[in-house]
Amino acid sequence: MPLTLPLRLGLCASRSSVSSVARSMPACNSSDSSPPAAAAPRTAPDLKAGAAVYQQDCSGCHASGLAGAPAFGDRKAWKARIAQGLPTLVDHAVNGYQGTAGVMPAKGGHSELSAAQVRNAVAYMIEKSR
């Protein structure tokens, strides 16, 4: 099968430069039936550490439901959110999110928190709100 390159955005390549790039690429072996290596599994969230982050940084809004935040332990408020999955909720908590019920500022306004700390806190709130 011939190798073709788009000639858009000022990308120009001669046939010889394309050939040299193609020769330097590893060959594909379609007879190799071994599965691709699995990504390293993520470690389980640390709920004890999450509880500490929640108490220090998240309870200001999530204890009472301030600004539309789902209140800690409110199963009804958390049900649809939990259904979205932990990765989505962590993304919203880390990067911020404008929902129909309210606003989640990035890291709850605590920019010093790491993504792992936020993940632990979100997992803790989910666990206590099932």
**Averaged pLDDT, 22-37:** 46
Q: Please, which pLDDT band fits residue 33 given cuts at 50, 70 and 90?
A: low
DSSP state of 25: S
**Averaged pLDDT, 45-70:** 97
Task: Please state the pTM of the whole predicted model.
Answer: 0.68
Token pair, residue 14, equals 């001669």
Written as one string, the DSSP assignment of 52-114 is HHIIIIIHHHHTTTGGGPPPTT-HHHHHHHHHH-HHHHHHHHHH-EE-SS-EE-GGGG-TTS-
> 91-105 pLDDT, tens per residue?
999 999 999 989 999
Determine contact, residues 49/113, Cβ cutoff 8 Å: no
Q: What is the pLDDT of residue 42?
A: 74
Determine contact, residues 88/80, Cβ cutoff 8 Å: no
- pLDDT beyond 60 at 8: no
Range with lowest mean pLDDT among 6-10, 47-51, 76-80, 118-122: 6-10
Token pair, residue 43, equals 């470690």
Angle between helices 75-84 and 115-127 (to 10 degrees): 130
- The domain 47-127 is classified under which CATH number: 3.20.20.450, 1.10.760.10, 2.60.40.3080, 3.30.70.1150? 1.10.760.10
